[in-house]
Amino acid sequence: MQPTYADLTFSNNTRNVVSIGGTNTTLTQDVTLGGTNFEIAPCGYTACTLTIPSGRTLTIMPGTTLTFNGEPEKIIVAEGGRLIAEGTATQPITITAATANAFRGIEAKGGSTLRLRHCDISKAREYSPALTIATDDAQVANCNIHHNLDRGIDILACDGSSSCAGRTITFTDVNVYSNGGETTHYNQDGIGVWLVGRPNGTLRLTWEGGSVKDNNAGGIYTQEGGYIEMRLRNVTIEGNGTRNTSYQAGISG
């Protein structure tokens, strides 16, 4: 799968996109999505995944919209895989869903590479954080994570083993806002950013610029276990916890 598109014009189609996927899919070569808008097609009645395995890279070019359309699907960046979605200020990248419950978020597993810049991620379903980071090699900048039915971002600490004793994540000008749906299934539904500690492991989050606003179940929550360190600078935290009685603070743990 490596077509080249140029100067395409879509009109009067039910979906004005190029449709890809449709089943559990694992990339067998590097893939670049750009030049037009794409959708991940319905895969049936079970949860499906688009997996980026070790040694493969999925690159999403500036200005691209990637829409999930159908049964719940998810992007998994496996150990050794790479997701590069770096837009620009004038050509951001949009990752969203066309229908309710169609998008189960993006998960970057340990040992993967994640680069998100000038991106907009929205409409992930319940029970599924929009973005899960469980890798040391993650950089997120100039991105908006918003209007997802569950948590905005989960960040998982290392397990404390010799191969992964510490994890440092860097955010720059990241905005996490308006996450959480009309109903609450768990107390954590609608937390903006959830930092998950692990015994004997460390997790450090350095966040420069941006905001955490209007999330239903609080702004930033740190789960007990291990060592968690946050360094926040010029980050606005306001209006969080309006719909959840357990997690209402701007920052809690």
pLDDT in tens, 65-83: 999 987 768 999 999 999 9
Q: Give the number of domains in the chain.
A: 1
Confidence of residue 202 (pLDDT cuts 50, 70, 90): confident
Window from 17-21, 104-108, 121-125, 166-170 with minimum mean pLDDT: 17-21
Confidence of residue 161 (pLDDT cuts 50, 70, 90): low
Q: What is the CATH number of the domain that holds 179?
A: 2.160.20.10
Q: What is the pLDDT of residue 2?
A: 65
Residue 138 maps to a domain: yes
Cβ–Cβ contacts within 10 Å for residue 206, how many?
14
Helix, strand, coil in percent for the chain, rounding step 5? 0, 45, 55
Over residues 150-174, the mean pLDDT reads 85
Over residues 17-34, the mean pLDDT reads 84
Residue 108 maps to a domain: yes
Residue 46 maps to a domain: yes
Question: Tens of pLDDT along 102-138?
Answer: 899 999 999 999 999 999 999 999 888 999 999 989 9
In the DSSP assignment, the letter for residue 158 is: P
Dihedral sign for Cα 103, 105, 106, 109, please: negative
Q: Is 253 a residue whose pLDDT tops 90?
A: no
Confidence of residue 56 (pLDDT cuts 50, 70, 90): very high
Dihedral sign for Cα 12, 45, 101, 131, please: negative
- Domain extent for 217: 18-252
| Cβ burial, residue 252 (10 Å; 0-12/13-18/19+) | middle
Output the pTM of the full model. Answer: 0.92
Residue 2 maps to a domain: no
Residue 114, φ and ψ in degrees, nearest 5: -130, 125
Q: What is the pLDDT of residue 225?
A: 73
Confidence of residue 184 (pLDDT cuts 50, 70, 90): low
Residue 3 maps to a domain: no
Residue 5 maps to a domain: no
Residue 1 maps to a domain: no
Confidence of residue 178 (pLDDT cuts 50, 70, 90): very high
Over residues 39-54, the mean pLDDT reads 83
Residue 12 maps to a domain: no
